[in-house]
Structure 1
């Protein structure tokens, strides 16, 4: 059985993984959802200084304090950035990295690089106007849906996401990832591609072509960008298969 550390995307905490974690435990796995600094129940721990390095340290400290071994580190969306940083530094305890509707970051990348300049400018304006200069509120669904598939989210799930999401420390979007960066060659590499990523891979984006080849193992999931909410049991089944 595997030891899963589940890292949520922007605006979310460990709560987002509750149903997937329950299903994975029913398969017999050890499952440890993680909330990053400045978000959800740790919102009060964040500040203008909270950045990507903070979240990388959160993951590494969590693994070390819990003396984890043979870890399967799961990154959803934004979490690809800190997980890529942690994967380059955890060493022997890390057995596998799973990117859920996301892809590994390379040294020098930052979240703002993944969007057009005008979209990045809009985020900066939101942070200035509504986030005290350092917090990024979760955009409304009509905005989120422009770049991320909302497929599978019913009204109750959307209401829960709106109610429980907390602003993201914007330093995690603006800071560039510094090395060492993983996953290293000894780590098993897995991609779970939902509708968003399936479309990107079909379109032949050159920077993502490597995900279609060894050592990467790809699993497709027919749902939108938040599978831990829209299809938690199916996501758990995919994760269970990936480690079996």
Structure 2
């Protein structure tokens, strides 16, 4: 290990997607720490297993937790799946503190975008998407043990994270260096779908410093391809 380059490398902040806590990053975080990287993995508010008032948690609460982890930076900010919402807000609020953003099978969002503005209820359990995830192939390459762990440890996603819209004001976020790790689709497919008007990819067309890297697997590469994902994160921002 090159101690000098490791010491100079930005801290890495890992933000899990819907239903997940910091535990989702355990294997990737361990690999990065073995390489001398300073790593923080987050459990966003309301994703604690015994949270008493999940329905009161907002997207702003999630963004505040990411901002707290970023501090004054510099950081490599890594967001998986639905964590793109609070991560984009955090970059918008503090673009100078983010040396590089890594989007894991997701992409930054646009101002006013929500995951599902019509969602009702206090929280969204993983059961709402489980069959669709299996049939859609997003669980590709996961072992039966990993699937069982996901099902057992998944926590209902607070409604605010699903329903609230992102409020973005600072276009400097568009110039932050970014890498999209394309797993379920290739990077070329991501861009093609964005050009065709796919709503969930609206943010892709705005970015001025984003590249794509293909890592063919399912939607959960932190478990199916942890070492390869750690390699990509480790390279970001150096």
Structures share fold, TM-score greater than 0.5: yes
Residues 57-206 of structure 1 aligned to structure 2 (within 5 Å):
57-64=64-71, 68-112=72-116, 124=120, 133-139=121-127, 141-147=130-136, 149-180=138-169, 184-196=173-185, 198=187, 200-201=189-190, 203-206=192-195
Aligned length: 224
Partner of 2:221: 227
Worse-superposed segment, 215-224 or 14-23 = 215-224
- Name structure 2 gaps, 5 residues minimum: 1-8
For the Cα contact (< 8 Å) 2:124–2:159, is it kept in 1?
yes
How far does residue 95 in structure 1 lie from its aligned partner after superposition? 1.2
Change over 3 Å in CA distance of 1:3–1:97 after alignment to 2:
same
How far does residue 145 in structure 1 lie from its aligned partner after superposition? 2.6
**1:193-222: CA deviations, max 9, x gaps?**
102354742744315595698621221112
Q: Following the alignment from structure 1 to structure 2, what is the Cα–Cα distance between the partners of residues 26 and 87?
A: 27
**1:153-182: CA deviations, max 9, x gaps?**
010000010111111101111111112366
TM-score (norm 2): 0.84
- Name structure 1 gaps, 5 residues minimum: 114-119, 125-132
TM-score (norm 1): 0.82
Worse-superposed segment, 207-216 or 138-147 = 207-216
For the Cα contact (< 8 Å) 1:39–1:166, is it kept in 2?
yes
How far does residue 189 in structure 1 lie from its aligned partner after superposition? 1.2
Q: Following the alignment from structure 2 to structure 1, what is the Cα–Cα distance between the partners of residues 191 and 70?
A: 35
Partner of 1:30: 38
**1:112-148: CA deviations, max 9, x gaps?**
27xxxxxx7xx64xxxxxxxx3011112632323456
What is the root-mean-square deviation in Å for CA atoms of aligned residues?
2.5
Change over 3 Å in CA distance of 1:147–1:18 after alignment to 2:
same
Secondary structure of the 1:219 match is strand
